[in-house]
Amino acid sequence: MQTNSATPIKAPKLTLRKPDGTDGAAVWELVRACKPLDENSMYCNLIQADHFRDTCVLAELDGEVVGWVSAYVLPHDPKTVFVWQVAVSEKARGQGLGGRMLADLLSREACDEVERLQTTITRDNDASWNLFKRFAKREGASLDSEAYFTRDAHFDGRHATEHMVTITLDKEEMRKAA
Ligand SMILES: CC(C)(COP(=O)(O)OP(=O)(O)OC[C@H]1O[C@@H](n2cnc3c(N)ncnc32)[C@H](O)[C@@H]1OP(=O)(O)O)[C@@H](O)C(=O)NCCC(=O)NCCS
């Protein structure tokens, strides 16, 4: 009698979770590998992962960190969540992970009162524009943008103008889609 001795292939396991302080170093490595993101200090990523864990998202593929969203609710406006950085490792790109992490962020209890998502993007970052446009479309939300941190007034000529992107959420629509 013939038996099938082939070992079943295990599908890679993707998990999204809140970070903690011990994730700071891995996040720092991921951000460094995701050009053109600005690199911050490891200490900065550690503080994000620790103090802002309720509004940051870590994605792991079989335990390896492959995705990161740093964000916080604006201290002066509890209805706005500001996304600082989104990073997806090259090996996990083009599969919707960036959008999934943004959706996960907005589903958190910390975002219950949130009605707007904001982020800033430089004109030349097509991947980032497409990520947020795609996300807004999927959520049935509107997207506006305007120059905000400008090359000369804010960056002393050393950095391209950052455009403030505002995605106004339709919470009712999102609840229905969830
Ligand atoms: C931007 C980034 C986070 C996107 O992650 P991702 O998981 O691959 O994105 P998604 O699969 O969710 O794709 C979302 C949309 O962006 C588009 N997109 C992704 N990468 C792109 C690229 N390099 N150029 C143009 N469009 C791109 C996708 O086509 C998709 O749109 P579509 O569904 O209409 O086709 C990832 O490419 C990255 O880490 N880049 C380097 C860091 C960076 O620029 N971060 C954003 C600044 S905060």
pLDDT in tens, 49-60: 999 999 999 999
5 band by pLDDT with thresholds 50, 70 and 90: low
pTM reported for the whole predicted model:
0.92
Nearest CA to ligand 1 atom 18: 127
14 band by pLDDT with thresholds 50, 70 and 90: very high
Please provide the DSSP assignment of the chain as one string. -----PPPPPPPPEEEE---GGGHHHHHHHHHHSTTSPP--HHHHHHHHHHTGGG-EEEEETTEEEEEEEEEEETTEEEEEEEEEEEE-GGGTTSSHHHHHHHHHHTSGGGTT--EEEEEEETT-HHHHHHHHHHHHHTT-EEEEEEEE-TTTTTTTSSPPEEEEEEE--HHHHHHH-
Q: What is the mean pLDDT of the chain?
A: 93
User: Ligand 1 mean position to 129 CA, how many Å?
Assistant: 8
2 band by pLDDT with thresholds 50, 70 and 90: low
Residue 161's contacts (CB-CB under 8 Å, 6 or more residues apart) are: 122, 123, 147, 148, 149, 150, 151, 155
Nearest CA to ligand 1 atom 10: 96
Which class is domain 14-177? alpha beta
Residues with CB under 6 A from ligand 1: 34, 36-37, 85-88, 93-99, 125-128, 130-131, 134
pLDDT > 80? residue 160:
yes
Looking from the CA of residue 85, the nearest atom of ligand 1 is 48
C-alpha torsion 91→62→21→178, nearest 10:
80
Task: Give the pLDDT score at 1.
Answer: 53
Average pLDDT over residues 55-72: 97
Task: Give the pLDDT score at 178.
Answer: 65
User: Ligand 1 mean position to 53 CA, how many Å?
Assistant: 23
